Structures are given as structure tokens and as C-alpha cells.
Amino acid sequence: MADRFGRSQTLLTAEIVSAAGLALTLPNNLPLLLVGVLLFTAGFFAAHATASGWVGLLARQHRAEASALYLFAYYAGSSALGACSGLAYAAGGWNASVAYVCVLLALGFAVAVLVARRARRTAR
């Protein structure tokens, strides 16, 4: 998809799919919940795969180090921020957890937009 539609478009679309899936986990309806988890997971891993592959293309030098730094940030961030999601759940249940993850998705979307803009400027 990244080769066909572009990395920025693929990354942003994957994040939107994740957000839509997350929203589908809110209603008290098992079929919707299952579809929501499927969409969230597919969007999340599509975004991660696209971002991970994009790092090597954006790095002009020290590509291995750039990829390693991305993976470090991915795992450190998911560990720390994932642990904090338990705090959100303890404070307000599932709805608070969804709100917390929505904030994280919005931050990821904003970073993706900034990277896409920079990549366009660099390509010129």
C-alpha cells in the first residue's frame, strides 16, 4: 500500500482506521466490539509497519541507527504509555481508556503529518 498510495497517505489512513476501530469498541455490542478490535489492530500494525519502513528511507546517513532509535522509541513508548493506560482504566473504566488512546492516536497523527510535510520538503 505504501508503494502504491505513498507512505504518508498509508500512515495517516492506518491511523484513521485505528481510531475508527477504537470508536467501535465503545457500544455495548459484541459484534461491533470484535470488528472494532480487528480494525484497531490492523490499523495499528499497518501504521507501525509503514513508519518503521519509512525511517530507513528518510534517514540519509546512519540508517541502522535511525531504525534502532525508532524501535527503541516504539518499545519504550508502548511500555510506559501502555502502563499508563491502566491508570486511565482505573480512573474511569473503558471509556476513559478509549479517551486516553484517542489522545495518543491524535499525537501520532500529528507527528505523521509533520513527518510527511518534512519528507515532501526534503524531496524537492
Full domain range(s) for residue 37: 2-123
Q: Provide the domain count of the chain.
A: 1
- On whether the pTM is more than 0.75, the answer is yes
Dump pLDDT digits (tens) for 85-94: 999 999 999 9
Integer Cα distance of 114 and 124 in angstroms: 16
Dump pLDDT digits (tens) for 27-48: 999 999 999 999 999 999 999 9
Determine how many CB atoms are found less than 10 A away from the CB of residue 8: 18
In sign, the C-alpha dihedral spanning 96, 101, 107, 110 is: negative
